[in-house]
Amino acid sequence: MADLFDKFEALTSTREAMPFEEANPVGIVMDEVISPTEAMIDGRRTILAGTNNYLGLTLDPRCIAAAHEALDAAGTGTTGSRVLNGTYAGHKQLEDALANLYGTDQCIVFSTGFLANLAVIGALAGKDDYILLDADSHASIYDGCGMSGATIVRFKHNDAADLDKRLTRLGVEGSRVLIVVEGLYSMLGDRAPLDDLVAVKKKHGAYLLVDEAHSLGVFGETGRGVGQDMGLDDDIDFIVGTFSKSVGTIGGYCVSNHPKFDILRLAARPYMFTASLPPSVVASATKAIEILGSEPEHRERLWRNAKQLHEGLRRAGFTLGADCSPVVAVKVDSPDILVRFWEKLVLNGVYVNLAMPPATPQGLCLLRCSLSAAHTPEQVDTIIETFEKVARMNSVGMPALEPVD
């Protein structure tokens, strides 16, 4: 007899075939958090190099104090959506802080970054509209596109010429077109060529949405993202982001200068029908946004660490996914090598993300590192040394590295 779970047999077989012996990437438990960059995992003190905690703000005393104060004053949750009883003064203050950071007229805060993409993309485009999205876009973007009912057209990753060709071939009115890209792509750590993409957007009169989830706090003079770093903020119609990376908590947002933007509060189902963020989360996010925009030293430390890790792994002979960024992806040749290498890293006290198809672009097998401003130079050296140590182990099946001068 057929069963609802029959469709998962291939996935189950893949999981069961992974050659893990002592550690499993989907079963990792942080038994004790020691700092933004260290935790106890199965009794081992472990350097965390895969948490997306870019600015290291998860344990910032000021963010914690703000959360405590809001918790004491307003309780553990709102028990309602933003359009009912779930908008407190803190939610509006957080939206004002984000609008001030970006210099925009309007901002809407959502309960997660995933929901932000579902809500904004799903509401902006409808059955008579077109969405052109970068082929390597995040799952939340794809799901938002599917929710919209619009005609979906993918263009080659970071290829503005391909975007132009597809828009020209469609021959539709630009005002019915939404182009969706990311500022920094989370798997390989490569940046979008926003200058070229903006030129195409202007040529066709389309709208442009940029997801800055992994670039908020990382790029730009005040940390707005890749758009600010390239001086293109005024040419981007909608910027989506999340609080689960640089902001160190949970939540999402979208900022815009479009005069009709606020109507999304009544059109976006994931906004209307999801309970709003708890006051403590809102307060810590507001404090983190303030820190992010006014204390560039966190960003400077982050980039120092990123350059140290990128250069160290490159010199050791590893093949990296992109130019230097706080996401440093190490390519390996096969799923078996990937699994063994990841496990040996964890058992030797370094946690990174294991990333493999279908979650990765181009079918790549990646050991994905994400750096933090809170990492010390000594910790970064240890990460590099551990990669080299594991690569020398015969048990991982990796060919000998050739160091680069």
Does the pTM exceed 0.75?
Answer: yes
Please check whether residue 136 lies inside any domain of the structure.
Answer: yes
Based on the fold, state whether residues 42 and 119 are members of the same structural domain: no
pLDDT at residue 394, as a whole number? 67
Q: How far apart are CA 365 and CA 359, in angstroms?
A: 10
Do 196 and 67 lie in one domain? The reply is yes
- Residues 189 and 328 reside in one and the same domain: no
Phi/psi of residue 19, each to 5°?
Answer: -85, 50
pLDDT of res. 405:
64
Task: List pLDDT tens digits, range 204-217.
Answer: 999 999 999 999 99
Q: Tell me, what DSSP letter sits at residue 19?
A: -
Number of domains in the chain: 2
Q: Does the active-site annotation cover 186?
A: yes
Residue 137 annotated to the active site: no
**Tokens describing residue 338:** 């990937």
Q: What is the rounded (10 degree) CA torsion for 129, 134, 136, 139?
A: -30
The catalytic position among 138, 201, 204, 245 is: 245
Residue 25: domain span: 19-48+296-396
Predicted local distance difference test score (pLDDT) of residue 22: 78
CA gap 254, 264 in Å, rounded: 10
Domain match, 286 and 314 both: no
The CATH code of the domain that includes 320 is 3.90.1150.10
Classify residue 124: in a domain, yes or no.
yes
Residue 3 located in a structural domain? no
d(CA 115, CA 209): 15
> Per the residue annotation, which of 186, 215, 246, 370 is the catalytic one?
186
* CB-CB contact of 386 with 348 (8 Å): yes
Are the C-beta atoms of 148 and 176 separated by less than 8 Å? no
Complete DSSP assignment for 55-98: T-GGG-HHHHHHHHHHHHHH-S---SBTTTT---HHHHHHHHHH
Place of tokens 């990492």: 375
**C-alpha span between 179 and 163 (Å, rounded):** 9
Catalytic residue among 214, 287, 310, 344: 214
Helix (H) or strand (E) holding 239: strand 238-242
Residues 93 and 228 in one domain: yes
Residues forming a β-bridge with 152:
131
Q: Residue 401 falls within a domain, yes or no? A: no
Of 271, 274, 264, 195, whose CA–CA distance to 235 is shortest?
195
Q: Are residues 31 and 88 in the same domain?
A: no
The pLDDT, as a whole number, for residue 15 is: 79
CATH no. for residue 182?
Answer: 3.40.640.10
Examine residue 403 and state whether it is found in any structural domain, yes or no: no
Same domain assignment for residues 24 and 109: no
Structure tokens at 12: 């189950």
Both tokens of residue 161?
């010429």
Q: Are residues 101 and 236 in the same domain?
A: yes
303 and 281 within one domain? no
Clarify whether residues 282 and 160 are in a common domain. Answer: yes
C-alpha 71/C-alpha 280 separation (Å) is: 5
Structural domain ending residue among the three candidates 276, 294, 312: 294
What is the number of other CB atoms lying within 10 angstroms of the CB of residue 184? 25
Task: Let me know whether 363 and 247 are in one domain.
Answer: no
Is residue 56 assigned to a domain? Answer: no
**CA–CA distance, 18 with 1 (Å, rounded to integer):** 28
Domain end residue (candidates: 251, 274, 294): 294
- 142: amino acid identity, one letter: Y
Intervals of the chain under pLDDT 70 = 394-395, 405
- Site of tokens 């779930």: 86
pLDDT at position 300 is 98
334 is catalytic: no
Position 105 in a domain: yes
Instruction: Tell me, yes or no, whether 323 lies in a domain.
Output: yes
Residues 244 and 139 in one domain: yes
